[in-house]
Amino acid sequence: MESFLIKGGVPLHGEVQISGSKNAALPIMAATLLTDEPCVIRGIPDLSDTRFMAEILKSLGAEVKFQNGTLTVRAKKIRGYADYELVRKMRGSICIAGPLLARLNKTRISLPGGCVIGARPINLHLKGFESLGAKIKIEGGYVEASAKKLSGSTMFLGGRAGSTVLGTANVMMAATLADGVTVIESAACEPEIVDLANFLIEMGANMSGAGSPTITISGVKKLHGAEHEVIPDRIEAATFAIAAAATNGEIEIKNCRADHLRAVLDKLIDAGVSIQPRNGNLTVRRGKNLKAVDVTTLPYSGFPTDVQAQMTALLALAPGISIVTERIFESRFMHVSELARLGADIEIEGPSAIVKGGRPLSGAPVMASDLRASAALVIAGLAAKGATQVNRIYHLDRGYEKMDLKLRKLGARIQRIEEK
């Protein structure tokens, strides 16, 4: 098992290229199952999650080629059964259910796995499929869905923590080949949903409203192959922006959509960070002093839960008291105890973390618990005095492409080592 060994205290300087969005790439990869014609997707990040998804597509019978960020898929003949040993490794694999149900009128897929950040049930996915006329059965750890023919309907997909992103994506894909019109109310509005919709439209789907709470889909008889480029990863961009601020550095973030990061950039500016957008890039540098701010995670276009841990690490350096409230995933403060090992003063009170910032951080061995917690620990390690070893970085490799190499190009003293 591998770790990052970080010798902190070095400001980051230079340019960093943001990779394609993992959260957009996974459902778009799944959407290639909707047609028997070739699809070419560019900007696919080379991550363990995208490699797992490519293996899942192969296991279903698709021809898959993945090279230099370009994925070519032809799902000419496919089966509707997804193997447990592949699906269990990644929660995002559930998004193959919608395309398989649409294309074959049946699917059997293992309940998915993923990192542990709180309850993430798939009940809204299944509710959407049932609204389209599918019969659902859960047995032996598998979900079976079947229908003589999917039929469009109007449905509400809002949940306890807001809209479901993967659930919206799954139902969108299933509805493209359904008879009639489907209306999804309380649909997720994330940029990744818009990117999926753009790809589906390029394949011949008839839909409108993506990016708003109401998406309307008129089913078509058949979809065809298409070419598409995935949007930049807004979470990776936010992570590097926060790393620049935490290390008192200055970096230019290239291939970045500032319009996808409004809530994050707004809070960084409030915290005393200078943000200058220009020609699709962002220049980020820390001002004279960091300031305490309050942050509440919300569905898009609010502050993203996937940036909460990284922001918490930054606020541990900001003098004063910040309150970070988590409204999406109830167990997403697992990084707090590890940040405390580096000297952060943070207390959990219900859904909020009370961050008493301004104390200097010092290096120590820490354990990553999930993808974004790992990024927070790397940021804290970069800002800390001395050496920090971040263990179990396989979580990081799920969502950040060559993070250590990108950080080294910015001047960070970071290396990948085998855990002892």
> Catalytic amino acids?
115
Cβ of 41: how many Cβ atoms within 10 Å? 25
Contacts of 333 (CB under 8 A, 6+ apart): 326, 348, 353
Residues 6+ apart with CB under 8 A from 134: 101, 145, 146, 147, 150, 174
Pull the structure tokens for residue 354.
Answer: 């009370």
The phi and psi torsions of 156 (rounded to 5 degrees) equal -115, 120
Amino acid at 379: I
Instruction: Report the DSSP beta bridge partners of residue 253.
Output: 16, 282
Angstrom distances, CA of residue 10 to CA of 232, 267, 355, 374, 385: 27, 24, 24, 19, 9
In this structure, is the dihedral angle defined by the CA atoms of residues 263, 280, 318 and 12, taken in order, positive or negative?
positive
CA 25 to chain centre: 9
Can you tell me the distance from the alpha carbon of 321 to that of 281, in angstroms, rounded to the nearest whole number? 31
Amino acid at 6: I
Other CB atoms within 10 A of residue 63 CB: 13
Does residue 170 contact residue 98 with C-beta atoms inside 8 Å?
yes
Half-sphere exposure of 297 (CA within 13 A, CB side): 23
Angle between helices 371-383 and 308-315 (to 10 degrees): 20
